[in-house]
Structure 1
């Protein structure tokens, strides 16, 4: 798909990017570096936390983004799902704060994530991490940037010695048959992917239960930077399905995709010896 299939693609990216920067500023008003947030907090059904910052950013972005592309449907972590999205060509996919627990605890590793799907595929992606001073952007076919500068994945060719992020149990299992450098916890899934895109880490694992809003924007940034996000079978991630929930996922540079997939298969099958 060519980026020209998007209506006024460059203008849409500019306007969506400005909206993300404003949304980040809203969240920063309640963020306290190294300390508990000033925001009111509560638990959603299922126990996951939410803050007034999540709701405020979500409301702000829904108004702004809907004005930019009125025909687009909406899918967000903090909004009741509307099945109309399944029949729409364009869908905004938003995580107002990816890494809410990090935000609540004063860690800078959280981000405002906005993606636009065209017939189920991301064509625009923005991951804005205001507390890190980092804004990642990508248009389909247009490359990926960090703060306006082009980015590419690392040149890593082997899992041996590669810098890999992911849940500790998965990394400990992987360490039984691969020798790599475990990266410290990155609470935002989107930032885990964009750091692969920028080349500061080489690969990442994502445990089951990630949602479209955790992934879609960063997936496009990663792919436009030369990387790949796949499911447990090595297939591209599918978005805007009836239930927007995913299983085990793996992200890496293009060169590491096949060896990482083989490692994921061993993890999934419970094998601890090389195949």
Structure 2
């Protein structure tokens, strides 16, 4: 079943990419959602509409959780649930940058069983199923095994605020940033960067797909307290994230305030 679901997600991601690229660098209409939620564009909504029609049409008994759809509490009673970000990295998309993605996942209970992250402007596909390998454009990926000294973390500036770290001392890591959180998890999964961190609550649609891809690549994937991530929750949020190869993950957790 996860393999059939993965094929469906891959088809949906490719079609989402075709739609998004029709708007990309074409000055699409955009507006702020308010409440510190950031921008949304007509492209986000067009992609979301297509994905919902395609995916729910194919799996009508699955629940639906998407950044651009009103939350339907019935998803909590579904055995499986789609968790979707139609365009992750909307600011980058509107700026004409390549670093936006489509993040598509399926949860069974609280766990992700199939995931695709597709960057259409870069023609790059990451995917995984529970129990299967993590692949980038068909090739297996794995995280970089390294120590914390000099490691590079994909994160925003707030992650290195001293209050988050034992003794008020942030770790000796370099910081990089990419606009799509889903892509950041995949970049850590493939060892392009050493870790992906967030000390802030993360929306499930941003991290559901990337979390499975990173885990199947061999990374340790937890919330910022070291607990396993749980999905299709009422709040649809995970309390931060730490994603890295197991040795580095352990070093990061040892330095974080509990």
- Residue of structure 1 aligned with 2:256, choices 246, 264, 269: 264
Partner of 1:171: 160
Shift of 1:29: 1.1
Select between 230-239 and 137-146 the one with higher mean Cα deviation: 230-239
Shift of 1:187: 1.3
1:224 and 2:191 correspond: no
Partner of 1:41: 30
* 1:65 counterpart SS class: helix
Count of aligned pairs: 253
The answer to whether the 8 A contact 1:250-1:264 is kept is no
Shift of 1:57: 0.5
1:22 and 2:15 correspond: yes
Q: Deviations over 1:243-268 (max 9, x none)?
A: 11232321111221211112222xx6
Structure 1: any 5+ residue segments left out of the alignment? 1-5, 269-275
Structure 2: any 5+ residue segments left out of the alignment? none
Q: What TM-score, normalized to structure 2?
A: 0.93
The answer to whether the 8 A contact 1:124-1:138 is kept is yes
- Residue of structure 2 aligned with 1:50, choices 26, 29, 40: 40
Partner of 1:181: 174
- Taking the aligned partners of 1:99 and 1:147, their CA distance within structure 2 comes to 21
Select between 174-183 and 244-253 the one with higher mean Cα deviation: 174-183
Q: Deviations over 1:4-27 (max 9, x none)?
A: xx3xx3233223201111101100
Q: Deviations over 1:165-193 (max 9, x none)?
A: 1112323647944322322x211110110
Q: Deviations over 1:169-228 (max 9, x none)?
A: 323647944322322x21111011000111101112113131110010000000000012
- Taking the aligned partners of 2:251 and 2:6, their CA distance within structure 1 comes to 35
Higher relative contact order (CA 8 A, sep 6+): 2
The answer to whether the 8 A contact 1:167-1:207 is kept is no
* 2:103 counterpart SS class: strand
1:102 and 2:95 correspond: no
* 1:124 counterpart SS class: strand
1:75 and 2:68 correspond: no
- Taking the aligned partners of 1:222 and 1:232, their CA distance within structure 2 comes to 16
Select between 201-210 and 217-226 the one with higher mean Cα deviation: 201-210
Which aligned segments of 4 or more residues in structure 1 are displaced greater than 6 angstroms? none
CA RMSD of aligned residues (A): 1.7
- Taking the aligned partners of 1:243 and 1:177, their CA distance within structure 2 comes to 29
- Residue of structure 2 aligned with 1:213, choices 205, 225, 228: 205
Question: Which residues in structure 2 correspond to 1:91-240 (within 5 Å)?
Answer: 91-156=81-146, 158-171=147-160, 173=162, 176-183=169-176, 185-240=177-232
- Taking the aligned partners of 2:105 and 2:112, their CA distance within structure 1 comes to 6
Pair 155,44 (structure 1): closer, same or farther in 2 beyond 3 Å: same
- Taking the aligned partners of 2:157 and 2:110, their CA distance within structure 1 comes to 31
- Taking the aligned partners of 2:240 and 2:250, their CA distance within structure 1 comes to 15
